[in-house]
């Protein structure tokens, strides 16, 4: 009896120990599932935080943050490239300058077509007849430079009484500053009478007299120059480079004036 009770006590104690050990080693399926779910949610949140792009604060540059009213699209990158007000002002100024340049070129083109060749205004035969010179001895030289837009000139020269390069210069001019001084031709003639021309060294003035031809005119015997203005505000000049008395020079100038004027009006 006593041995049987001892056996039952020993067996019960071992069973108790085995049950405790088994409960401790065997995981709780409910508690494990909750723990795993919490860990997965935490990992997902951490991954989302790492993948979320960070906002980039705009650079505090006053030149790039100014208000822009106009922009252009870069055809290569398709990125809108905005311009500062200073850049836009420079571009507008370039456009305006180009337009003004085209207007000036058009005016120059029209002016060139108006002025005839000065050498075509009188022939050597007429010059020789008026001044008593053999026309075959007269050489003709166009005195207009390649950039002479508002002036044409022609020099008829010969050796007069042993003086080389004597001759007569014929010149025609139009208004070179039409935009600023539309009455240039009027004041050009009046200034010859009122102010005159300075001599070579600038110490004296040569005043002109009223010549009495054209719309307005002026001449100076010492300078050997004769000017007149037409109704369309062209200014003609005859200049002599040969010795003569004033009366003789005036006769030559009046005959040359008539020949040049007739030829110009007939063109």
Domains: count for the chain: 2
Which residue stretches of the chain have pLDDT < 70?
A: 1-81, 101, 103-113, 146-147
Are residues 92 and 188 part of one domain?
no
Name the nearest CA neighbour of 214 among 266, 247, 261, 153. Answer: 261
Tokens of 174: 């139009």
Instruction: Name the residue range of residue 103's domain.
Output: 71-112
Domain membership of residue 15 (yes or no) is no
Question: What does the alpha-carbon distance between residue 61 and residue 68 come to, in Å, rounded to a whole number?
Answer: 14
Domain membership of residue 215 (yes or no) is yes
Are residues 228 and 185 part of one domain?
yes
Domain membership of residue 60 (yes or no) is no
Domain membership of residue 87 (yes or no) is yes
Q: In this predicted structure, what is the pLDDT of residue 25?
A: 44
Domain membership of residue 85 (yes or no) is yes
The pTM of the full predicted model, rounded to 2 decimals, is: 0.57
Using DSSP, state whether 128 is helix, strand or coil: helix
**71: CB partners within 8 A, 6+ apart:** 80, 81, 82, 83
Q: In this predicted structure, what is the pLDDT of residue 8?
A: 54
Q: Give tens-digit pLDDT for 16-68.
A: 454 544 444 444 444 444 445 555 555 555 554 455 555 454 455 544 444 44
Domain boundary among the residues 112, 143, 177 is at 112
Give the dihedral sign, CA 239/240/241/243: negative
Question: What does the alpha-carbon distance between residue 251 and residue 244 come to, in Å, rounded to a whole number?
Answer: 11
Domain membership of residue 3 (yes or no) is no
In 26-59, where does DSSP find H-type helix?
A: 29-51
Whether the CB-CB separation of 174 and 233 falls below 8 Å is answered with yes
């Amino acid at each position: 009896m006593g041995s049987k009770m001892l056996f039952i006590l020993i067996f019960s104690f071992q069973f108790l120990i085995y049950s405790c050990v088994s409960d401790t080693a065997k995981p709780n399926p409910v508690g494990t599932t909750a723990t795993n779910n919490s860990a997965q949610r935490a990992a997902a949140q951490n991954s989302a935080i790492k993948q979320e792009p960070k906002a980039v604060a705009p650079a505090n540059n006053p030149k790039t943050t100014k208000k822009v009213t106009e922009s252009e699209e870069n055809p290569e990158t398709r990125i809108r490239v905005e311009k500062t007000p200073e850049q836009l002002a420079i571009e507008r100024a370039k456009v305006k300058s180009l337009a003004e340049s085209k207007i000036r070129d058009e005016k120059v083109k029209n002016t060139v077509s108006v002025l005839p060749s000065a050498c075509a205004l009188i022939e050597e035969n007429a010059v020789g007849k008026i001044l008593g010179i053999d026309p075959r001895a007269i050489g003709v030289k166009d005195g207009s430079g390649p950039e002479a837009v508002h002036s044409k000139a022609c020099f008829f020269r010969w050796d007069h009484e042993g003086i080389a390069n004597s001759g007569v210069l014929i010149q025609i001019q139009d208004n070179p500053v039409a935009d600023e001084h539309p009455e240039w031709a009027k004041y050009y003639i009046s200034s010859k009478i009122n102010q005159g021309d300075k001599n070579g060294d600038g110490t004296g003035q040569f005043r002109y007299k009223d010549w009495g031809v054209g719309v307005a005119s002026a001449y100076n015997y010492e300078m050997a120059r004769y000017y007149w203005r037409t109704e369309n505000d062209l200014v003609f000049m005859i200049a002599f480079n040969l010795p003569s008395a004033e009366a003789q020079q005036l006769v030559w100038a009046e005959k040359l004036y008539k020949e040049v004027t007739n030829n110009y009006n007939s063109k």
